């Protein structure tokens, strides 16, 4: 991350909620000077002042980066007010808003390098994964800067085409909510089999967290890891017979879940 450039010219963060706040904390932990940060958020959290970060005041005329971390439904109101804040031709526009296209940002910031990013909520603990894609003006330097900024909260992958972003949004952007619901469902199923609620929840949380860590730590295909747990005629095989049913099992349900989320992402881009 080009800290000298950021500290010299400043970074404007629009929106400091869960994702904007997680990103900002990651940048500060990597050495960004709090005095170089300018936050625009009518509900700016109290910790900003405690860290010496300015909020809702004057912004630098030619910042190094303008980060858009507001909900896509707010872009119509936000973008016109920000055009004067990023008049420099080399100000990087970095958006983490779902569905809002590069073309739409290009109308608001003509000539600027623009990068769309889709992080996810594990960014709050530095365990996120983000996908990025840039417009034609986002050459090597701005893409590298965008990647460095997103790497402060986890892994970063680059897309080949913006059309892939809706699928990314549906899989990794929305995916943590699916996993949290799996934990809820697994805990409730344990309760139904006689476990105390607190114990069922502990087991479900640890099982999902441990299985996820194992899937990431190794280089084996998830199908191989699944097979390693499954003894013929055993308890896991009995459970998987239900979960993997062609008509009522998890694969079709997940397919429809991701398709619905991707369709909504496309709608938000209209």
CB 225 within 8 Å of CB 215: yes
129 and 243 housed in the same domain:
no
263 and 134 housed in the same domain:
no
Map tokens 């973008």 to a residue: 79
What CATH code is carried by the domain that includes residue 127? Answer: 3.40.50.720
- In whole angstroms, what is the distance from residue 90 CA to residue 41 CA? 24
CB 14 within 8 Å of CB 105: no
The DSSP 8-state label assigned to residue 59 in this structure reads: -
| Residue 265 domain-assigned (yes or no) | yes
133 and 252 housed in the same domain:
no
Please tell me the predicted confidence (pLDDT) of residue 88.
64
169 and 242 housed in the same domain:
no
Bridge-based pairing state of the strands 114-118 and 128-134: antiparallel
Name the residue among 55, 67, 164, 155 with its Cα closest to residue 109.
Answer: 67
The DSSP 8-state label assigned to residue 84 in this structure reads: G
| Residue 165 domain-assigned (yes or no) | yes
| Residue 28 domain-assigned (yes or no) | yes
| Residue 9 domain-assigned (yes or no) | yes
Task: Look at residues 173, 201, 222 and tell me which one is the last residue of a structural domain.
Answer: 173
Task: Look at residues 131, 157, 173 and tell me which one is the last residue of a structural domain.
Answer: 173
139 and 253 housed in the same domain:
no
With a threshold of 0.75, does the pTM exceed it?
yes
| Residue 132 domain-assigned (yes or no) | yes
13 and 146 housed in the same domain:
yes
The DSSP 8-state label assigned to residue 23 in this structure reads: H
| Residue 222 domain-assigned (yes or no) | no
Cα–Cα separations (whole angstroms), residue 228 to 184, 186, 254: 25, 21, 23
| Residue 136 domain-assigned (yes or no) | yes
| Residue 249 domain-assigned (yes or no) | yes
97 and 18 housed in the same domain:
yes
- Residue-wise pLDDT for 21-75, tens only, equals 999 999 999 999 999 999 999 999 999 999 999 899 888 888 999 999 998 888 8
35 and 119 housed in the same domain:
yes
Q: What is the mean pLDDT of residues 207-212?
A: 96
Q: Is the pLDDT of residue 194 over 90?
A: yes
Element (H, E) at 128: strand 128-134
Bridge-based pairing state of the strands 154-158 and 128-134: parallel
Virtual CA dihedral for 255, 258, 261, 262, nearest 10 degrees? -100
Element (H, E) at 11: strand 11-14
- In whole angstroms, what is the distance from residue 44 CA to residue 104 CA? 26
How high is the mean pLDDT of the chain?
Answer: 92
- Beta-ladder partners of 132: 117, 158
Q: Beta-strand (E) ranges in the chain? A: 11-14, 37-40, 54-55, 65-68, 92-95, 114-118, 128-134, 154-158
Task: Look at residues 126, 142, 173 and tell me which one is the last residue of a structural domain.
Answer: 173
Name the residue among 169, 75, 61 with its Cα closest to residue 121.
Answer: 169
Q: Which domain holds residue 249?
A: 230-270
Quickly state the pLDDT bin for 82 (edges 50, 70, 90).
Answer: confident
Please tell me the predicted confidence (pLDDT) of residue 195.
98
- Residue-wise pLDDT for 119-142, tens only, equals 999 999 999 999 999 999 999 999
Q: Is the pLDDT of residue 227 over 90?
A: yes
127 and 242 housed in the same domain:
no
49 and 166 housed in the same domain:
yes
**What total of structural domains would you count in the chain?**
2
């Amino acid at each position: 991350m080009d800290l000298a450039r950021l500290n010299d010219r400043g970074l404007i963060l629009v929106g400091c909620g869960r994702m904007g706040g997680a990103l900002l904390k990651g940048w500060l932990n990597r050495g960004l000077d709090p005095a170089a940060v300018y936050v625009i958020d009518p509900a700016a959290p109290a910790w900003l002042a405690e860290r010496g970060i300015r909020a809702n005041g004057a912004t630098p005329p030619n910042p190094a980066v303008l980060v858009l971390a507001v909900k896509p439904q707010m872009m119509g109101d936000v973008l016109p007010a920000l055009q004067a804040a990023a008049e420099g031709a080399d100000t990087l526009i970095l958006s983490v808003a779902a569905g809002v296209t590069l073309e739409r940002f290009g109308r608001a910031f003509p000539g600027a390098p623009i990068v769309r990013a889709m992080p996810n909520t594990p960014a709050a603990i530095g365990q996120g994964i983000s996908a990025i894609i840039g417009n034609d003006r986002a050459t090597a330097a701005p893409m590298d800067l965008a990647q460095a900024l997103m790497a402060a909260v986890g892994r970063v992958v680059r897309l080949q085409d913006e059309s892939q972003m809706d699928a990314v949004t549906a899989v990794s952007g929305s995916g943590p909510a699916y996993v949290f619901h799996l934990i809820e469902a697994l805990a409730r199923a344990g309760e139904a089999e006689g476990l105390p609620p607190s114990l069922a929840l502990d087991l479900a949380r640890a099982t999902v967290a441990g299985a996820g860590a194992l899937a990431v730590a190794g280089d084996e295909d998830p199908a191989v890891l699944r097979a390693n747990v499954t003894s013929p005629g055993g308890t896991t095989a009995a459970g998987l017979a239900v979960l993997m049913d062609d008509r009522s099992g998890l694969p079709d349900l997940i397919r429809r879940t991701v398709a619905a989320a991707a369709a909504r992402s496309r709608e938000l881009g209209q």
